[in-house]
Chain A
Amino acid sequence: MAFEALAGINGDLITTSWIASKKAYQTERYHKEEAGTVVIFAFRPSFTAEDLFAPANISSFGEIKMNRVQFPCMRKIGKGDEATVNEAFLRNLEVIIDPRTSFYASVEMSVGSRKQIVFTGHSSGGATAILATVWYLEKYFIRNPNVYPEPRCVTFGAPLVGDSIFSHALGRENWSRFFVNFVTRFDIVPRIMLARKASIEQTLPHVLGQLDPTNPSFQESDQRITEFYTTVMRDTSTVANQAFCELTGSAEAFLETLSSFLELSPYRPAGTFVFSTEKRLVAVNNSDAILQMLFYTSQASDEQEWSLIPVRSIRDHHSYEELVQSMGMKLFNHLDLHQFLLDGQNSIGSWLNELGVSTRGRQYVLAALEEEKKRVENQKKIENKWPQIVKELSWIENEYKPKCQAHKNGYYDSFKVSNEENDFKANVKRAQLAGIFDEVLGLSKKGQLPDEFEGGRDWIELATRYRRLIEPLDIANYHRHLKNEDTGPYMKRGRPNRYIYAQRGYEHIILKPQGRIAEDVFWNKVNGLNLGLKQEIQEILKKSGSECGSCFWAEVEELKGKPYEEVEVRVKTLEGMLGGWITAGEVDDKEIFLEGSTFRKWWITLPENHKLHSPLREHMMDEIRAT
Chain B
Amino acid sequence: MEDCRFETSEIQASLLMSTQLFTDSWSSCNTANCDGRIKIQLIAGITYVAIQAVPMIQLGDLVGLPVAGDVLFPGLSSDEPLPMVDAAILKLFFQLKIKEVLELELVGRKLVVITGHSTGGAVAALTALWLLSQTSLPPFRVFCITFGSPLLGNQSLSTSISRSRLAHNFCHVVSIHDLVPRSSNEQFWPFGTYLFCSDNGGVCLDNADSVRRMFNILNATGTPNIEEHQRYGHYVFTLSHMFLKSRSFLGGNIPDNSYQAGVALAVEALGFSNDDTSGVLVKECIETTTRIVRAPILRSAELANDLASVLPARLEIQWYKDRCDASEEQLGYYDFFKRYSLKRDYKVNMSRKRLAQFWDKVVKMVETNELPFDFHLGKKWVYASQFYQLLTEPLDIANFYKNRDIKSGGHYLDQGNRPKRYEVIDQWQKGVAKPDKCERSIYTSTTQDTCFWAKLEEVKEYLDEVIKESSDAQRRSLLLEKILRFESYANTLVKKKEVSVDVLAKNSSYSVWVGNLREFKFKMGYGNEIEMVVDECDAMET
Closest to B373 in A: A253
Decide: A448 near B244, CB < 8 A? Known: A248-B6, A254-B193.
no
Give the shortest distance, in Å, between B137 (CB) and chain A (any CB). Answer: 12
A418: interface (CB < 8 Å): yes
Residue contact A432 to B435, C-beta cutoff 8 Å:
no
B8 and A250 form a contact (CB under 8 A): yes
Docked complex: A429-477 residues within 8 A CB-CB of B = 431-436, 438-439, 442-443, 446, 448
Is there an interface contact between B372 and A252, defined as CB atoms closer than 8 Å? Answer: yes
Q: Does B78 count as interface, using CB distance less than 8 angstroms? A: no
Q: How far is the CB of A182 from chain B (nearest CB, A)?
A: 23
Alpha-carbon distance between A446 and B299 when the two chains are bound, in angstroms: 12
Complex CA–CA separation, A483 to B265 (angstroms)? 55
Cα distance A356–B113 in the bound complex, in angstroms = 37
Contacts of A433 in B (CB 8 A): 308
**Complex alpha-carbon distance, A392 and B364, angstroms:** 32
Cβ of A370 under 8 Å from chain B: yes
Cβ–Cβ contact A486 & B440, under 8 A: yes
Q: Does B347 contact A (CB under 8 A)?
A: no
Query: Residue B267 at the A interface, CB < 8 A?
Result: no
Contact (Cβ within 8 A) B11 A424:
no
B223 at the interface (CB under 8 A from A): no
* Contact among A250, A252, A370, A482 for B445, CB-based, below 8 A: A482
Query: Which of the candidate stretches A28-36, A41-49, A257-265, A519-527 sits at the interface with the other chain?
Result: A257-265
Cα-based distance from A378 to B304 in the complex (angstroms): 15
Q: Mark A196-236, 1 if CB is under 8 A from B, else 0.
A: 00100000000000000000000000000000001001100
Measured between beta carbons, the chain B residues less than 8 angstroms from A418 are 322
Task: Please report the C-alpha to C-alpha distance between residue A191 and residue B94 in the assembled complex, in whole angstroms.
Answer: 48
Say yes or no for B15: interface residue by CB 8 A criterion.
Answer: yes
Per the bound structure, the CA–CA distance linking A262 and B24 in Å amounts to: 12
B256 contacts the other chain (CB 8 A) = yes
Tally chain B residues at the interface, Cβ within 8 Å.
Answer: 77
Q: A257 to chain B: which residues have CB within 8 Å?
A: 141, 143, 168-169
Task: Name the segment of B69-77, B213-221, B289-297 touching the other chain.
Answer: B289-297
Report if A234-B243 is in contact (Cβ < 8 Å); known contacts: A242-B15, A439-B301: yes
CB contact under 8 A between A254 and B206, given known A241-B18, A301-B246, A435-B308? yes
A92 located at the interface, meaning its Cβ lies under 8 Å from any Cβ of chain B in the complex: no
Residue of A nearest to B13 (CB): A241
Among A252, A361, A428, contact of B315 (Cβ-Cβ < 8 Å)? A428
Q: Are B246 and A360 in contact (CB under 8 A)?
A: yes
Chain B 528-539, CB-CB to A under 8 Å as 1, else 0, gives: 000000000000
* A256 CB-CB contact with B under 8 Å: yes
B261 on the interface (CB 8 Å rule)?
yes
- Cα A480 to Cα B436 in complex, Å, equals 20
Contact status of A442 and B5, CB under 8 A, knowing A258-B16, A485-B438: no
A interface residues, tally (CB under 8 Å): 72
Closest to B204 in A: A251
Q: Would A262 and B254 be within 8 Å (CB), given that A253-B168, A432-B308, A485-B438 are in contact?
A: no
Query: What's the Cα separation between A98 and B18 when bound, in Å?
Result: 43
A241, B14: Cβ atoms under 8 Å? Answer: yes
Q: How far is the CB of B305 from chain A (nearest CB, A)?
A: 5
Return the chain A residue nearest B112 by Cβ: A261
Q: Is A487 an interface residue (CB 8 A)?
A: yes
Closest Cβ of chain B to A280, distance in Å, is 20
Cα of A300 to Cα of B245 in the assembled complex, Å: 5
Given the interface pairs A251-B12, A261-B143, the reply to whether A237 lies near B18 with Cβ below 8 Å is yes
CA–CA, A366 and B254, complex, Å: 15
Residues of B within 8 A of A251 (CB): 8, 12, 168, 193, 204, 206
CB neighbours (8 Å) of B167 from chain A are 253
User: Which residues of the partner chain A approach B143 to less than 8 Å between Cβ atoms?
Assistant: 257-258, 261
> Roughly how many angstroms separate A234 CA and B206 CA in the complex, as a whole number?
25
How would residues 1 to 43 of chain B score, 1 for a CB under 8 Å from any chain A CB and 0 otherwise? 0000110101110111011110000000000000000000000
> A253 CA to B295 CA in the complex, in Å?
13
Closest Cβ of chain B to A460, distance in Å, is 20
From B245, B256, B300, B369, give the contact of A442 (CB < 8 A).
B300
Question: Chain A residues near B136 (CB, 8 Å)?
Answer: none
A439 near B302: Cβ-Cβ < 8 Å: yes
Q: Give the residue name and chain of the A residue nearest to B168 (CB).
A: A253
B262 at the interface (CB under 8 A from A): yes
Contacts of B18 in A (CB 8 A): 234, 237-238, 241
Known: A256-B168, A439-B302. A428 touches B312 (CB 8 A): yes
The answer to whether B442 has its CB under 8 Å from any CB of chain A is: yes
Taking CB atoms and an 8 Å cut-off, the chain A residues in 357-400 that contact chain B are 357-361, 363-364, 366-367, 370, 378
Q: Please state if B445 and A359 are interface contacts (CB–CB under 8 Å).
A: no
Is A249 interfacial (CB-CB < 8 Å)? yes
B 199-239 binary contact with A (CB < 8 Å = 1; else 0) = 00000101000000000000000000000000000000000
Whether a CB of chain A sits under 8 angstroms from the CB of B311 is yes
B-side residues, CB < 8 A to A, are: 5-6, 8, 10-12, 14-16, 18-21, 44-46, 111, 113, 141, 143, 165, 167-169, 171, 193, 204, 206, 243-249, 254, 256, 258, 261-262, 265, 292, 295-298, 300-302, 304-309, 311-312, 315, 319, 322, 369, 372-374, 379-380, 387, 435-436, 438, 440-442, 444-446, 448
Task: Give the B-binding residues of A (Cβ under 8 A).
Answer: 198, 230, 233-234, 237-238, 241-242, 244-245, 248-258, 260-263, 296, 299-303, 306, 342, 356-361, 363-364, 366-367, 370, 378, 418, 424, 427-428, 431-436, 438-439, 442-443, 446, 448, 480-482, 485-488, 493, 496-497, 561
Extra pairs beyond A245-B8, A261-B113, A438-B301 (5, CB < 8 Å): A255-B15, A300-B244, A301-B248, A360-B10, A431-B311
Identify the 5 closest CB pairs spanning chains A and B, nearest first. A435-B308, A358-B246, A442-B301, A253-B168, A431-B311
